[in-house]
């Protein structure tokens, strides 16, 4: 075991198994979380969920872009949410098939959707599909945790994070959860 991760395990215990349900609402939430605080994204998500009576592709499309913007979504995020909903509705994206497909094929299907980049897809695979060997590329909290735990001179770049995480294959998801737990604990959360 990595001695630095061992130290986290000794201090904090087993990492939490934060999870999300696979499916459309989770992908909408992940889009909302891009480049904003989780708290801000959750507020918008809960408002949207309450107003729509549940987040479904049909309800997102019915809101149209202008309706989505009324909830505080940027034009870009409204477009991403609308586009995701349209792809699910027209069958271009089958989320049940994504969940059953080999990881590379499922990832390719999600990455073809505007607004779902590598970080978003990694979070979906780690949190919703609970795959054991996922490293969320470019996650800022993981960069900060690696900097602290590994005693690095600076926060690692996305490529440096990836290189460090290779040592934890095939359990990179566990390492990510441990590092997130460290990040939160170090900040009193």
Cα 138 to its chain centre, rounded Å, is 11
| Token digits of residue 181 | 């737990």
Full-model pTM: 0.92
Stretch 19-39: mean pLDDT: 92
* pLDDT (tens digit per residue) in 30-87: 999 988 888 889 999 999 999 999 999 999 999 998 999 998 889 999 999 999 999 9
For 126, half-sphere exposure in the C-beta direction (CA atoms, 13 angstrom radius) is 26
Q: What letter does residue 128 receive in the DSSP assignment?
A: I
DSSP 8-state symbol, 16: P
Are 3-16+135-186 and 24-128 in the same CATH fold?
A: no
pLDDT at 119: 93
Q: Taking a C-beta distance cutoff of 8 angstroms, is the pair 147, 118 a contact?
A: no
132-171 pLDDT, tens digit each: 999 998 899 999 999 999 999 999 999 999 999 999 999 9
What mean pLDDT comes out for the span 105-127?
96
Look at the domain 3-16+135-186 and name its fold. Endonuclease Iii, domain 2 (1.10.1670)
Specify the CATH architecture of the domain 24-128.
Orthogonal Bundle (1.10)
> What is the residue extent of each domain of the chain?
3-16+135-186, 24-128
């Amino acid at each position: 075991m990595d001695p630095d991760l061992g130290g986290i395990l000794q201090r904090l215990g087993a990492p939490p198994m934060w999870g999300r349900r696979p499916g459309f609402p989770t992908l909408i939430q992940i889009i909302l979380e891009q480049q904003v605080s989780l708290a801000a994204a959750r507020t918008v998500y809960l408002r949207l969920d309450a107003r729509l009576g549940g987040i479904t592709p049909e309800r997102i499309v019915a809101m149209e872009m202008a309706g989505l913007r009324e909830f505080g979504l940027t034009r870009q995020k409204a477009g991403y949410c609308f586009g995701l909903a349209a792809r699910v509705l027209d069958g271009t994206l089958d989320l049940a098939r994504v969940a059953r497909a080999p990881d590379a094929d499922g990832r390719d299907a999600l990455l073809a959707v505007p607004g779902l980049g590598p970080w978003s897809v990694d979070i979906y695979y780690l949190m919703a599909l609970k795959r054991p060997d996922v490293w969320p590329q470019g996650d800022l909290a993981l960069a900060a945790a690696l900097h602290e735990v590994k005693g690095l001179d600076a926060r690692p770049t996305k490529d440096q994070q990836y290189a460090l995480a290779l040592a934890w294959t095939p359990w990179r998801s566990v390492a990510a959860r441990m590092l997130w737990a460290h990040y939160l604990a170090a900040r009193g959360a």
